[in-house]
Amino acid sequence: MTGLIADIGGTNTRVALCDQGHLNRASIRRFANADYPGLEPILKAYLAETGAAPSGAVIDVAGPVENGAARLTNRDWSFSESGIAKTSGAKTVRLINDMQAVGHAFGHVAQADLTPIHAGEPQPGGTGMIVNAGTGFNAALITGTGANRIVPPSESGHISLPVTNPAELALADTLRESHGFASVEEILTGRGLEALHAWRTSAPSPAAAKVVEAATAGDPAALETTQKFLEFLGRVTGDLALIHLPYGGIWVVGGVARALSPFFGPRFLAACHDKGRFSALTARFPIHMVTDDYAALTGCAAYLAAIEG
């Protein structure tokens, strides 16, 4: 059976076909969200191009899903499972959070697309965890396998930014003045990297990609910004790990995280494992960077296969 799957990000939407839980990579098409007034026109264009008649559809979205409906947090798009069913002709339709999609990919991504950050002590079949740093920040718990897999939705980016010293408290105060609340997402995203660099240098920041370029070229200020970013990422990852106990492993995903992958090292791990008498416990959790940009689509395909039986 042919399935329709889509990964709706803050900037782009990727649409593809799948069959019996396997992503058809040759079918992947990328659509710029700014070029379309909503999701339905994208799906119509894709189905017209491919001529596909999907039996089912799973769409993941960068935002909360409630009662079979979703609205993008950074774009005036709203859509529903019933609307997608009408547009696609699919009988089985599910809307899920983007982190849920990546969670369903757990165990289905090739080992070549997983870069080790920390070996830990892997426990096969253990609970997993996804941490995403990209256009937004989020995390997800993963339990079970196949049709018994459960990936609860989450909006972890909107928890409070953990600060541990006066300088970081001043950063949180700055974020609070600008946004009303100093959340994790205001630092552990692309715009957050820019905000962190501006705060550290007391000057307007270039775009996040330029900060990474400067760090790669050895610029001291940019290097310190990236390391401070990774310190915060490690601290938040460790906090979430103590909540979820991911003995099966932690996956780090997202465009910003991947861009910073050459800089992951002692500072990230020290912050992740700095949990007092529970430091030895957090050190047991394996951590990998996912380099496969289509992991969410892989998860959508696996989930569709599970719900269609």
Question: Can you tell me the distance from the alpha carbon of 252 to that of 250, in angstroms, rounded to the nearest whole number?
Answer: 7
Question: Tens of pLDDT along 101-128?
Answer: 999 999 889 899 999 999 999 998 899 9
What CA–CA distances, in Å, run from 99 to 150, 151, 227, 277?
Answer: 12, 8, 25, 30
- In the predicted structure, residue 18 carries a pLDDT above the cut 80: yes
- What values do phi and psi take at 206, rounded to 5? -70, 175
pLDDT (mean) for 231-251: 97
Question: Domain 114-290 adopts which CATH fold?
Answer: Hexokinase; domain 1 (3.40.367)
pLDDT bucket at 35, cuts 50 / 70 / 90 = very high
Four-CA torsion 214, 218, 220, 223, nearest 10 degrees: 70
Question: In terms of pLDDT, which residue wins out, 47 or 145?
Answer: 47
Q: Is the pLDDT score of 76 beyond 90?
A: no
Residues in Cβ contact with 179 at an 8 Å cutoff, skipping those fewer than 6 apart: 186
In the predicted model, is pLDDT for residue 309 greater than 80? no
Mean pLDDT value across the chain? 94
Q: Which CATH code for domain 2-104+294-308?
A: 3.30.420.40
Q: How many CB atoms lie within 10 A of CB 158?
A: 15
What does the DSSP assignment read for 11-63? SEEEEEEEETTEEEEEEEEEEEGGG-SSHHHHHHHHHHHH----SEEEEEESS
Measured CA to CA, the distance from residue 46 to residue 67 in angstroms comes to 26
Across the range 239-246, mean pLDDT stands at 97
Among 251, 246, 226, CA closest to 106: 251
Q: What is the pTM of this model?
A: 0.88
218-236 pLDDT, tens digit per residue, is 999 999 999 999 999 999 9
Extents of the domains making up the chain: 2-104+294-308, 114-290
**Cα–Cα distance for residue pair 247/244, rounded to 1 Å:** 9
